[in-house]
Amino acid sequence: MRILLPLLCILSCSTPSETPLYADKSWPVALGPGSNHATTLSQITTENISKLVPAWVYKAGDAGKHTQIQCNPLIINGKIFATTATLDVVCLDGVTGVEIWRSSPSASMNPDDVPSPGMGVNRGLVYARSPNGDRIFVSNGPYLFAMFAETGKSISDFGKEGKIDLRIGLREGAENAFVVANSPGAVYGNQLIIGCRVSEGAGAAPGHIRAYDIQSGDMTWIFHTIPEPGEPGYDTWPEQAWKTSGGANAWAGMTVDHDRGLVFVPTGSASYDFYGADRPGANLYANCLLALDAATGQLKWHFQFVHHDLLDRDLPAPPNLITIQRGEKDIPAVAQITKTGHVFIFHRETGEPIYPINEIPVAASTMPGEASWPTQPLPSSPPPFSRQRVEGIHERAEGKDSLAKVLARLRQHSIFEPPSMEGTLVFPGYDGGGEWGGAAYDPWKGLMVVNSSQMAWTLNMVSTAANHPGNQVYLTNCASCHGADRSGGEFMGTIPSLLGLESRYELPGLQALLESGKGSMPSFAYLSESDKAEVSRFLLGLPSEDQPGKGDPTSAYVSSGYKRFLDKAGYPAISPPWGLLTAIDLNAGEIKWQIPLGEYPELVAKGIPVTGTENYGGPLVTASGLTFIAATKDEKIRAFSTATGDLLWEANLPAGGYATPAMYEANGKQYLIVACGGGKMGTKSGDAYVAFAIP
């Protein structure tokens, strides 16, 4: 332990001043040290950026319908560690892109646990030094795998045959729940700390934070995000919530401050996302930034960004470790972006806000049985990096008049407008504002650079009461993903339609699928036998057996599904910009510049100014004054001046670069690398990593 820690710090520690300095010119942790997306490398500059060209392209050969690659790769001593579209792990030569080894964790998994195409995503890996051989940790489905960095071979004495089942140890009954870890954990000492993604519907598992010994895989501590009796925060939930409620999970990743022994963990909303009659109270520690003792999991301080969340306002990205300058004094701070487009900044050691935070009154819910929270917190500075209100329908929108009528009917008074039966406009949308790509922090200029989507979504609540008892069970447990009309959609991956199941399944087979789950579909083993029978009969178009559905009565209302507010041509219906890139002076609490990010070439050809596009994946900043970002629907990667926001360079990618780029040096040359997996927002899927360099 005392020997390991200094070796680990070579890879993952940030300095007390929090400039992201590391001597080996690698990219040793996902999103860079301090989650700051920053590099000291300066061979590529604002003067020579025009010479940047592809150096090599690696194609994994496994792209499929709706697959994606969201991985921010690791680069250690000239070797690249990354995941492919089907979540194989590859090690590549950083100079040539030649594959050194390839490992397929899914080969050792139960087929029912392997994520279905388009639903399995991974946003990064974990690298740890060890006297027994450096190791790579990667999640796939419900498992955390360990493999040797040198060979990619499984470490058989880690966990059970080289893997840990993340469903085990959360609470009784969660062994069959939907639990995955899309984002990497973080190493502190000899421990790997990790969160998880859970279901957002009824029967969800709790999202407790756990640490595991990197040698043995034994769990070393757990922090209950839904407090148990005697723990602080227990009184913000109903008495039995710790046994039944779910969510409050850290799906977006986390950031370690090695110098202070702290891990900063952002959490998501409690389940069910949009109706909380069964969870009255503020619901700590959902929607919180947690400052935990990284060695023990003890809570040092917390801040809750949304009380009793009803709009899925998860904290979407790991926080940035930054330094705020006040005169001659440097303040160690942590900055957290939100889906609403705000930046909250706290003193790292005490949790004291750097800028005042005000509790503002918000509209009360009109949903029967709901007890929404009367106020929500917003920072006084910096200003939001995303618009807070829809300014009307785009003047060139197809079907503008009918869209204006729809907009007029929707509730849209504020960013905290609660769900409703008549319909609520969710803006910024379910995917932000800020999202999982996260923000970059330039310590040389004191600037945060962050991208945001300006996408409106519509939210309609429906009653689960229905003539067919299986429909009630369906609406309670399945409609939030597949839609009340069973037509499917796109949110956190492509969600298939359930129409026409009778051509693919018979009653026993569908009931067995509900029992076991498959891929990213969770098990519904917690349903009663009559409920599984009734919902299966309903989905197959069979009459009820007159057994009343026993869907959770506290989930009497559910969302009809995730729906973007689009015009008839498929473009965002609201006025642009639809995507933004913003630089924020964190010392002054002011926006430095803001520009549209991305374009629709066909709209530009019609004379419509650059609109920006919905975007996924974050920026990267360099000491030489450059900001790189892909992320946009137009399948390009761009470089901007960090100081001014001027566009300096752009290049086409083989598929959408919906991932955060990384930067490294190998054989004396600086490289920029980005995953090109596509597959989101209706764009084609890809299987490539592209590295750029100056010849």
CA distance 437 to 316: 8
pLDDT tens for 403-440 read 999 999 999 889 999 999 999 999 999 999 999 999 99
467-523 tens-digit pLDDT: 677 777 877 777 767 877 777 766 555 677 787 777 788 888 877 777 777 766 777
8 A C-beta contact, residue 303 and residue 289: yes
Output the six-digit token pair for 216.
């043995």
Spans of all domains in the chain: 11-100+436-454+576-695, 465-550
Q: What is the mean pLDDT of residues 202-219?
A: 96
pLDDT of 508: 82
On average, the pLDDT of the chain sits at: 91
395: exposed, middle or buried (Cβ count in 10 Å: 0-12, 13-18, 19+): exposed
Angle of CA points 217, 205, 240, to nearest 5°:
120
From the centroid of its chain, how far is CA 207? Answer: 14
Do residues 224 and 233 make contact, with C-beta atoms less than 8 angstroms apart? Answer: no
Fold of 465-550: Cytochrome Bc1 Complex; Chain D, domain 2 (1.10.760)
Helices (H) and strands (E) in the chain, counts: 8, 45
- How far is the C-alpha of 359 from the C-alpha of 353, rounded, in Å? 13
pLDDT above 60 for 222: yes
Lowest-confidence region among 280-289, 471-480, 663-672: 471-480
DSSP state of 355: S
For 406, the enclosing helix (H) or strand (E) is helix 400-409
**Comparing C-alpha atoms, which of 452, 429, 437, 449 is closest to residue 121?**
437
Contact call for residues 360 and 378 (beta carbons, < 8 A): yes
| Interatomic CA distance for residues 156 and 574, integer angstroms | 53
pLDDT at position 128: 96
Span 11-100+436-454+576-695: which CATH code?
A: 2.40.128.630
Q: Assess whether pLDDT exceeds 50 at residue 602.
A: yes
Tell me the Cα Rg of the chain.
24
What's the average model confidence in pLDDT over 360-371? 95
Of 360 and 527, the one with more pLDDT: 360
Highest mean pLDDT among 24-33, 488-497, 502-511, 619-628 belongs to 619-628
Q: What percent of the chain has pLDDT over 90?
A: 78
Where does residue 406 fall: left (phi above 0), alpha (psi -120 to 50 degrees), or beta otherwise?
alpha
| 28 contacts: CB under 8 Å, gap ≥ 6 | 10, 11, 12, 22, 74, 75, 76, 127
Q: Which of 392, 433, 201 minimizes the C-alpha distance to 306?
A: 433
Interatomic CA distance for residues 373 and 332, integer angstroms: 32
- Greater confidence (554 vs 323) lies with 323
